[in-house]
Amino acid sequence: MAHFSIPLPARRTVSIDLSRFNGIVRLLANRRVQLALMILVPILLLTTFRSVLPIAGPLETNLRAMTKAPSLEHLFGTDRMGRDIFSRTLAGIQISMFVGFAVALLSLIVGLVVGTLAGFFGGAIDRVMMTITDIFLAFPSLLLAIGLVSVMGTGMLPVVLAISLSDVPRFIRLQRSMALSLRSRAYIDAARTVKASHLWLMTRHIVPNTIASLLVAASIAAANAILVEAGLSFLGLGIMPPAPSLGNLIRDGQSYLEQAWWISTLPGAVILLIAISLHFLSDGIRQVLDPRSRK
């Protein structure tokens, strides 16, 4: 290979390209993202530092304070065993957030890998992968989850897997369609003429141009996962009591709705708040990414 002998310039200027951070700046400037963060950040801070807060532990019972209405001492009130609902809600959020994050991450990774391979290679690989995906898509997600939990038993891992299983096909479909349309772009052809490897084409040209859309889908999936986890726990198929998942909290209070409305209602309101703000977040990301929705 030829060598180019060009004298090095005396001084190299190192320039940091600020436009690289443009995306994050624009994201933080978006109203919906700001609103979402205004709700999510305090909630996350509270749950992270709940052990240092002056509240009872989530599993601590207090027989002298059973089914107490919300007060300064017990912000969300107590349940029939005298456990502090606020503390239990914070613990529940931690579990919910973990489930949401795990599901989003798992779906994202599997969707990215499988979808890219199917869309990029096409042909037989695509057909096999898509047939399997379609089979999973054909089942209602809750049914799939119930089936899986009944085989694997209850607990955190089965819940995460069950929810992911119903989300993953959507991610694969999304990523596949994007990879398929990018595959024939001229810049991929240009890289092919220099015999770039498939791995190079996929990691350098396809994934960087699809990852943003997948992140939008992932934040919606996280919100959805939190709701489904609450639903599964409510049905007794999710996290086992006495672990304080948000679904468990609602179920606990279900039979006391008339006497102690706060046991179910307040954790339910928190779920609503988190789900809404995650949707705001994904909407904001989409707005920033989609030039057409920009004014």
CB of 192 to other proteins, least distance (A): 6
CB of 96 to other proteins, least distance (A): 34
Q: Which two tokens stand for residue 159?
A: 């819940």
Indicate the DSSP class of residue 18: G
SS3 84: strand
CA distance 194 to 83: 67
- CB-wise, 11 or 64, nearer to other proteins? 11
CB of 53 to other proteins, least distance (A): 43
- CB-wise, 54 or 208, nearer to other proteins? 208
* Nearest CA-CA partner of 222 in 68, 104, 61: 104
- CB-wise, 26 or 80, nearer to other proteins? 26
293: left (phi over 0), alpha (psi -120 to 50) or beta: alpha
Q: Report the half-sphere exposure of 205 (CA within 13 A, side-chain side).
A: 22
CB of 294 to other proteins, least distance (A): 9
Given the rule CB under 8 A, which residues bind other proteins?
1-4, 6, 8, 15, 17, 19, 185-187, 189-197, 200, 204-205, 208-209, 295
CA distance 287 to 290: 5
- CB-wise, 132 or 185, nearer to other proteins? 185
- CB-wise, 4 or 131, nearer to other proteins? 4
CB of 130 to other proteins, least distance (A): 18
Is the separation of the CB atoms in 163 and 250 below 8 Å? no
